Amino acid sequence: MVGAFRGAQTVKEIMAKTSPGQFVKQVRQEVAKVTWPSRRETTLSTGMVFVMVVLAALFFMVVDQVFAWAVKLVFGLGA
Residue 28 maps to a domain: yes
Q: What's the average model confidence in pLDDT over 40-46?
A: 97
Residue 59 belongs to what domain range?
7-75
Residue 2 maps to a domain: no
Residue 45 maps to a domain: yes
Structural domain count, the chain? 1
Model confidence, pTM: 0.58
Residue from 29, 8, 5, 7 nearest 18 by CA: 29
Q: Tell me: pLDDT of 5 over 60.
A: no
Residue 32 maps to a domain: yes
Residue 65 maps to a domain: yes
Residue 40 maps to a domain: yes
Helices (H), the chain: 11-14, 20-33, 39-75
Residue 49 maps to a domain: yes
Query: How far is Cα of residue 41 from the mean position of the Cα atoms in its chain?
Result: 19
Q: Tell me: pLDDT of 42 over 90.
A: yes
Please state, in angstroms and as integers, the Cα–Cα distance from residue 55 to each residue in 13, 47, 60, following that order. Answer: 52, 12, 9
pLDDT score recorded for residue 14: 60
